[in-house]
Structure 1
Amino acid sequence: MKGLMRIAAALGLCLIAGATAAQQGASALPPGKPMKIIVPFAAGGTSDILARALAQRLGERLGRSVIVDNRAGAGGTIGTEAAVHSDADGTTILIHSGAIAVDPSLKRNLTYDVQRDLTPVTTAVVGPFALLVGPTVPVQTTADLVKYAKANPGKLNYGTPGIGSSIHMTTEYFKTLAGIDMVHVPYKGAGPALAGAMANEVQVLFDPLATGKKYAQSGKLRALAVSTGKRSDLWPEMPTVAEGGVPGFDTGVWYGVYVPGKTPKAVVDLLNAEFVAILKSPELAPWLRDQGLEPVADTPAQAKARLAEDIQRWAGVIKATGIKTE
């Protein structure tokens, strides 16, 4: 018993020391100035939920208030623009989805350059998509789907939450790599797209793992694969699209942390250390799992490389398919 008490006391001292070190490191931030995390989407979505979970823990670690500021509108560009023009001192943070890498090619009137005017702090999390088909589609694997689609060009419909969404881009990427022709049916949100798949309005759908797995296990839809390049710990028995015969396919919805472009490196490094510690903490793991998300928690350099790679990828897909916003 005494041994356990000594271990508990030692762990407690480590936690206190960690919090104290974080608060001491926060001296790189302007003293007394409130911190905020801008979410360029409405409250209630994944970006918002993630931002609130991270804001609470960041505030606790730094010993200061961190609020979430929802700046929705124009597909995320209003909030992003607000972050770009904020003070570059680490007190304003942006959490954005992977759509930030689509915008440069899809939106022609941006007033900012995401690679010049924002500095990545870390890629926070990634959420695999599940590749789903309706129960009437006579396929059991990704290879079956590709073969069936090639034999029936233009006869399969695929659903998305809208033009330019991550799911739309992912499906067009799948079509391009697989060399198949399917018809796009955009819905006003992910829920209606799921309903459309179950009603056989569309026969193919990529959907976030948290919901896609639930509907597949209920028998309402059939899951063929996950979208990421390696199998997901959230569904380890499910093969990847690449394993199913579409080499090189590797994507999913991801969320990144950014600060204004001229933020000092010392501040970026401080924020990176804090966010990485939070994202890798055991207490956050069950919550992330429930959201269908896996921590990435990479370095600023790695996050910058991911952003650049995705910008190039989606530019190629948009050019090859001619996708345009309405």
Structure 2
Amino acid sequence: MRTGRSRRAVLQLAGTAFGAAAGLRVGTDRARAAEYPEHPIRFIVPFAPAGPTDIMARILASNLGGALNGTVVVENRPGAGGNIGIGIAARAEPDGYTLLVTSSAFVVNPGLYTKIPYDPVADFAPIAELGTSPNVILANPTTGLSSIADVVARAKAHPNELNYASPGIGTTPHLAGELLKIVAGVEIVHVPFSGAGPAIQALLGGTTQLAVAALPPAHPHIAAGALKALAMTGARRWFDLADVPTMVELGYADFISDTFQGFLAPAKTPPAIVELLSAKSIEVLKTPRIADQLRNNGFEVIANGPVGMRGRIESEVPKWRDIIAKAGIKPV
């Protein structure tokens, strides 16, 4: 009996100690969040400058820094379809000072590569689902291609003569380009680049005749007349490009493809810091001036918190894996 009571006493003491330690840890996390940030925060963008993720990251960084009474810097770490930068963020110290702003590549890459340097669920703490953009199919005006019908007709008459630029293998623009080839029954050569910025520059310079890209980096060139927008891949026409039809309107049922932007921290980042970053980033996104700025740059603001971001990850990883398999794209 005495031994039993002693054992219960030890267990009760251990439980009390564990509870006290947990309470101390929560208190420490709250205190750390109250002092955060004490030095500059780094946003890892796993793509080249001037692409949609870079545009979103820089708009968010310039405004979130003020909301946090701190400084946020953007660091572009492109390569391997985003895997290099995402891997760097996954291995960063989980202290809230290295964060990831990424695109749909985050959920596409698990189905596209046989090995990636991150687990999209286990290695990250979602902060916010920032926004989404339709992809747009573009032509250099010098080609004389002014519609999807023109592209299909020329591609059928001259298989593999046309080429199209994309931000990289496995990005949603690349998959949209491959889907166009499948549904139209044409052969067009894919030319991958390290991000949307370089892909757009290749189209502007005449290196490629076509490109598929998220709307943000293409929008100013469309508005200036330097590029011709042939079709949007979103569910509806864009508000200030009302003359550009959607692929669905052109008769390609279910041809909808967009690119989302997400905000994440390394796993084990103190929950209080994740909560603070989520609240402040959503506050920034919902500010009318910033929401208008993003919309004018081709983004539809989503502004969902960690639950929304986690849900998108968990639903889209299997979705894109299935699409990649159906498109016959072999993981590399």
TM-score class, shorter-chain normalisation, is 0.7 to 0.9
Q: In 2 relative to 1, CA 245–52 (structure 1 residues): closer, same or farther, beyond 3 Å?
A: same
CA distance in 1, matches of 2:247, 2:241: 13
Q: Verify: 1:31 aligned to 2:40, yes or no.
A: no
CA distance in 1, matches of 2:92, 2:306: 19
Residue 282 of structure 1, CA deviation: 1.8
The answer (yes or no) to whether the contact 2:47–2:79 under 8 Å persists in 1 is no
Give the partner amino acid of 1:299: G
Residue 29 of structure 1, CA deviation: 1.5
RMSD: 3.5
The answer (yes or no) to whether the contact 1:130–1:213 under 8 Å persists in 2 is no
Question: Could you report, residue by residue, the CA deviation over 1:275-303 in whole angstroms, capped at 9, with x for unpaired residues?
Answer: 11101212213432453333221232222
Match of 1:238 among 238, 244, 253: 244
Residue 52 of structure 1, CA deviation: 3.4
Which residue of structure 2 lines up, in the alignment, with residue 154 of structure 1?
159
Which residue of structure 2 lines up, in the alignment, with residue 186 of structure 1?
191
CA distance in 1, matches of 2:283, 2:74: 23
The answer (yes or no) to whether the contact 1:43–1:70 under 8 Å persists in 2 is no
* Runs of 5+ consecutive residues of structure 2 not aligned to the other structure: 1-28
Q: Verify: 1:81 aligned to 2:53, yes or no.
A: no
Match of 1:50 among 48, 56, 62: 56
Residue range with higher mean Cα deviation, 112-121 or 76-85: 76-85
Give the partner amino acid of 2:306: P
Q: In 2 relative to 1, CA 182–306 (structure 1 residues): closer, same or farther, beyond 3 Å?
A: farther
Residue 77 of structure 1, CA deviation: 2.9
Give the partner amino acid of 2:49: G
Residue 321 of structure 1, CA deviation: 2.6
Which residue of structure 1 lines up, in the alignment, with residue 3 of structure 2?
none
Q: In 2 relative to 1, CA 88–211 (structure 1 residues): closer, same or farther, beyond 3 Å?
A: closer
- What TM-score do you get using the length of structure 1 for normalisation? 0.73
The answer (yes or no) to whether the contact 1:156–1:203 under 8 Å persists in 2 is no
Give the partner amino acid of 1:164: I
> What is the 5 A alignment of 1:177-326?
178=183, 180-186=185-191, 188=193, 189-195=198-204, 199=206, 203-210=209-216, 212-213=218-219, 215-216=221-222, 221-263=227-269, 265-319=271-325, 320-323=327-330
* Higher-Rg member (1/2): 2
Which residue of structure 2 lines up, in the alignment, with residue 96 of structure 1?
102
Residue 271 of structure 1, CA deviation: 2.2
Q: In 2 relative to 1, CA 26–264 (structure 1 residues): closer, same or farther, beyond 3 Å?
A: closer
The answer (yes or no) to whether the contact 1:153–1:181 under 8 Å persists in 2 is no
SS at match of 2:175: helix
Percentage of matched positions with identical amino acids: 26
- What TM-score do you get using the length of structure 2 for normalisation? 0.72
Give the partner amino acid of 1:31: E
Which residue of structure 2 lines up, in the alignment, with residue 124 of structure 1?
130
CA distance in 1, matches of 2:228, 2:302: 28
Which residue of structure 1 lines up, in the alignment, with residue 169 of structure 2?
164
Q: Verify: 1:66 aligned to 2:75, yes or no.
A: no
The answer (yes or no) to whether the contact 1:161–1:187 under 8 Å persists in 2 is yes
Give the partner amino acid of 1:225: A
Which residue of structure 2 lines up, in the alignment, with residue 7 of structure 1?
none
Residue range with higher mean Cα deviation, 67-76 or 90-99: 67-76
The answer (yes or no) to whether the contact 1:139–1:148 under 8 Å persists in 2 is no
The answer (yes or no) to whether the contact 1:185–1:202 under 8 Å persists in 2 is no
> Alignment length, in residue pairs?
295
